[in-house]
Amino acid sequence: MSTMTAQATQVYEVYIKATPQQIWDAITKPEFTEKYFYGSRITVSEDEYLSLDGKGDTLVRGKVLEIDAPHRLVTGWRALYDPETATEEDSRVTWEIEPQDGGYSKLRVVHDQLEGAPKTALSVAGGWSYVLSGLKTLLETGKPLAG
């Protein structure tokens, strides 16, 4: 049996019927993230991206590398929810939001620099699709994904 591996650069795109500002709020404010991002409460300050679980334990932490609201956010990514990923090197997540015709915006998430974090790469490979699908559903219907 071969060992599962995941890509060191992962690209995810989704079109959402929302303004860039609505999407920005949904990815940087805890009252939104807890509805679609595995219940996590995410805050973004000038220098830190921080994701906490309901008990206040840190799930993900990263340095803010670039911030240009509501269009671009680049942060480091250290997954602390699993002891095996916690010891890996920091990777990087880039969020890009571009307005489109018809009230839509395009959201692109690039998770890269995962060469030194193969377990994190595997852990997030299925997760991003789930998270972005939930984000789209929340913004377009006002409700979290069922189940």
Partner 1 sequence: MLPDVDDDAIFKALADPTRRHLLDRLFERDGRTLTELESELEMTRFGVMKHLRVLEDAGLVATRRQGREKLHYLNPVPIRLIHDRWIDKYTEHRVAALADLKNELEETA
Q: Mark 32-58 as b/e (b = at least 16 C-beta within 10 Å).
A: bbbbbbeebbbebeeeebbbbeeeeee
Instruction: Check binding of 141 to partner 1 (CB under 8 A).
Output: no
143 by Cβ neighbours in 10 Å (0-12 / 13-18 / 19+) ranks as: exposed
Stretch that binds partner 1, among 38-46, 66-74, 81-89, 101-109 (CB under 8 A): 101-109
Distance CA 1, CA 22 (A): 45
Which of 9, 33, 118, 143 is in the footprint of partner 1 by CB under 8 A?
A: 9
Binding mask of the shown chain, residues 116 to 135, with x at each position contacting partner 1 by CB under 8 A:
------------xxx-xx--
Binding test (CB under 8 A) with partner 1, winner from 77, 114, 136, 139? 136
By CB under 8 A, tell whether 101 contacts partner 1: yes
Residue in the structure block whose two tokens are 């996590």: 40
- Local structure of residue 62 (DSSP, 8 states): E
Nearest distance in Å: CB 102, partner 1: 7
In angstroms, the CA 31 to CA 130 distance is 18
Q: What's the token pair of residue 49?
A: 């991206």
Query: Is residue 19 a contact point for partner 1 (CB under 8 A)?
Result: no
Smallest distance from the beta carbon of 67 to partner 1, in angstroms? 21
Binding site for partner 1 (CB under 8 A): 7, 9-15, 100-102, 104, 108, 110, 128-130, 132-133, 136-137, 145-147
